[in-house]
Amino acid sequence: MRYIYGPLLSRRLGLSLGISPIPFKTCDFDCVYCQLGATLSKTKTRKEYVNKEEILSEIRQWLKDNPQTKINYITLSGSGEPTLNSRIGEIIQEIKNISSIPVAVITNSSFLIHPEVRRSLLVADLIIPSLSAVDQDVFQKINRPAEGVKVDEIINGLIDLRKEYKGKIWLEVMLVRGVNDDLRHIQKLNEVITRINPDKIQLNRPIRHTTVAGIRPPDKRRLNKIKEILGEKCQII
């Protein structure tokens, strides 16, 4: 199988069958906490990187070969940004046509600025977008996006997504010590998240090796303080 991985037991999703609709490390970000290594060439070009039919044929085969395996989610994520695949909406719809397993999409949120991308995700059962910065300078430091990507536009995309999408949104915040865990930044993040109104806020932190030196999670006390500021929807994962 080239585009399917797992199923993996995930802290958030239970048993999740991963689908990678883009080639390795195809992304418009180069996050300091990325576990996949550096993004050698950031791209904002959306296209059918991986043929839709090939992905669907692998999923059909996997479902046929594993009728007894109880999967909690089929998750589009993979080793890069899945919404870069321009046919992601059709892929989700066709997965829904052949299976009753809920479909989740994990995204860095950057392409949610485009109405057609938001529309393509409406058929998913769960969207896990990330937002780890609300100031452009913090955004540049932590996510190191392709040129021209503006965090204000991403925030507006997330607010629009919430208005248009009826499924669950679990917003992920990745916290890196000394980069985005300053409490003034967290207060601003809280104001923005209130406007986005996700169903859950999930605090994540870099716990595995990354290629950038000195990337560490906040200490436990700071993490708990941040959770307190972000309120009752917030959980540490």
Name the residues that contact ligand SF4, by CB under 6 A: 27, 29-31, 34, 36, 39, 80-81, 108
| Run of H or E residues at 126 | strand 126-129
- Specify the pairing of strand 14-19 against strand 4-10: antiparallel
User: Which residue number, 8 or 183, has a Cβ lying nearer to ligand SF4?
Assistant: 8
Give the nearest distance from C-beta 210 to ligand SF4 in angstroms: 9
Considering beta carbons, is residue 36 or 122 the nearer one to ligand SF4? 36
Closest separation between CB of residue 16 and ligand SF4, Å? 16
Measured between alpha carbons, how far is 145 from 130 in angstroms, rounded to an integer? 13
Give yes or no for a contact between 140 and 169, defined as CB atoms under 8 angstroms apart.
Answer: no
Of the pair 2, 208, the CB lying nearest ligand SF4 is at: 208
Minimum distance from CB of 118 to ligand SF4 (Å)? 18
Among residues 150 and 183, whose Cβ is nearest to ligand SF4?
150
Query: What is the Cα–Cα distance from 153 to 200, expressed in whole angstroms?
Result: 21
State in angstroms the smallest separation of the CB of 41 from ligand SF4: 12
- The secondary element (H helix, E strand) that includes residue 200 is strand 200-204
